[in-house]
Chains A and B, each alone.
Chain A
Amino acid sequence: MMRRTRPLQWVGLAGICLFLVVAFSPLSNALFRWLAAPSDIQPADAIVVLGAAMDSDGTLSYESLVRTVRGVALYRTGRAPIIVFSGPVHQDGPSEARVRADLAGALGVPPGAIRTETSALTTREEAVRIGGILHAENVRRILLVTDSQHMRRASALFARGGFQVFSATADARSGASTSPGARLRLLRDLLGEWMALGYYRIAGYL
């Protein structure tokens, strides 16, 4: 007589199948391409570089560094006269925005062109607070710098704040990864962004 399969075995089997499909097929790459917003770089009034993360000793995360360099490169090619860096204070150390502004200064961006926002902790707060800074300077068109999967949510928030938004993606993770570990990490990031999108929709922020 065949033994009845228990519900936990089905859960385990589903877990194994999901793991194998994600790690050894281009599923997460395809999902990345589907969710990612393409760059649409146009002349703007300001470049807005969204925050990512920073360690308490002032070391920028790779994501934060990639976004900062992208923002500086856009500024140096004359895409906008102002560049805004976002990123909160970590414990007693410097803010992420300050560290990025210092790096931008070292890379040749004049201090007069740099604005910083150090109090926002979420993407929504960034849109509200940076929006306040930029509206005061009559900025209407912004070049938004963040990673591809985050762009859809972030640009919708800034557009709601009355800005014409152009995307300038800065990806710390490649959507073309072929190693199993990189594909698993890619899916983890995509799931996180989907959950955030769902939460923002339910909360009425989008």
Chain B
Amino acid sequence: MTEPIVVILAGVTSFAALWIGSQWLRFRPGDLAAALGKTLECLGMMLVFFAANAAVGLAAIIGGRSLTGAFVSTYVMSDAAILGISFLQGLLFFCWRETKAGRRNRRLRASRSERKAAQAPIREGG
């Protein structure tokens, strides 16, 4: 019974968001594909952090056991909080990267328009 409820719920809120975005907020439907690409990239970053956290955590637990004899259960690594933390790390890192990319694009556009302005013919007798 849970499965159909989850699917219906996701469908209803997704359609509502699509309608609000296109009708009220005037988002361009053509930008949705680019947004999906960014979402996948952000999710990919989150998963990379999750894999890194899992690998470093397991190595530290197993290495720590053999080097110091201190026991920490590997079941610690199955805590859902690690997934949440990894997703926050991935989101922050992704936004940081996007901020840098945005600044670089703005600089490029500015230098292009400066070049264009410099190359434009000077009108005489205006």
A121, closest chain B residue (CB) = B71
Chain A: residues with CB nearer than 8 A to chain B? 3, 5-16, 24, 53, 121-122, 178-181, 188-189, 192, 195-196, 199
Least CB separation from A7: chain B residue: B44
Chain B positions 65-98 with a Cβ under 8 Å from a chain A Cβ: 71, 73-75, 77-78
Is the beta-carbon distance between B62 and A12 smaller than 8 angstroms? Answer: no
Beta-carbon contact of A12 and B3 below 8 Å: no
B3/A24 in contact, CB under 8 A: yes
> Looking at the complex, which of B24-32, B34-42, B101-109, B118-126 is the stretch in contact with chain A?
B34-42
Judged by a CB distance under 8 angstroms, whether B8 is at the interface is: no
Inside 8 A of A24's CB, which chain B residues have their CB? 3, 7
Q: Kindly provide the distance from the CB of B88 to the nearest chain A CB, expressed in whole angstroms.
A: 16
Is B2 on the interface with A (CB-CB < 8 A)?
Answer: yes
How many chain B residues touch the partner (CB < 8 A)?
23
Given A121-B71, A192-B75, residue A180 in contact with residue B41 (CB < 8 A): no
Q: Which of B1-24 contact A (CB under 8 A)?
A: 2-3, 6-7
For A179, the closest partner residue in chain B by CB is: B2
Report B-chain residues with C-beta under 8 Å of the C-beta of A11: 43-44, 47-48
Chain A interface mostly: helix
The reply to whether B3 and A8 contact each other, CB–CB distance below 8 Å, is: no
**Chain B contacts for A10, CB-based, 8 A:** 44
Residues B6 and A8 in contact, CB atoms below 8 Å apart: no
Task: State in angstroms the CA–CA spacing of A196 and B77 once bound together.
Answer: 12
Q: Are B78 and A12 in contact (CB under 8 A)?
A: no
Find chain B residues with CB under 8 A from A179 CB. 2-3
B47 & A12 in contact (Cβ 8 Å cutoff) = yes
Distance between A50 CB and nearest chain B CB, rounded to angstroms: 14
A8 nearest in chain B by CB position: B44
CB-contact partner of A12 in B2, B42, B75, under 8 A: B42
Cβ of B42: which chain A residues have Cβ within 8 Å of it?
A: 12
- CB-CB under 8 A from B71, the residues of chain A are 121-122
Instruction: Report the bound CA distance from A181 to B58 in whole Å.
Output: 24
Residues of A within 8 A of B6 (CB): 180
User: Which B residues lie within 8 Å of A12 (CB)?
Assistant: 39-45, 47
Q: How far is the CB of A17 from chain B (nearest CB, A)?
A: 11
Q: Which of A7, A16, A180, A196 makes the CB contact (< 8 A) with B2?
A: A180
Choice from B48, B62, B78 contacting A8 with Cβ under 8 Å: B48
B44 lies within 8 A of A180 (CB): no
24 pairs across A/B with beta carbons < 8 Å? A8-B41, A9-B37, A9-B44, A11-B44, A11-B47, A11-B48, A12-B40, A12-B42, A12-B44, A13-B40, A15-B44, A15-B46, A16-B43, A24-B3, A24-B7, A178-B2, A179-B2, A179-B3, A180-B3, A181-B2, A188-B78, A189-B78, A192-B77, A195-B74
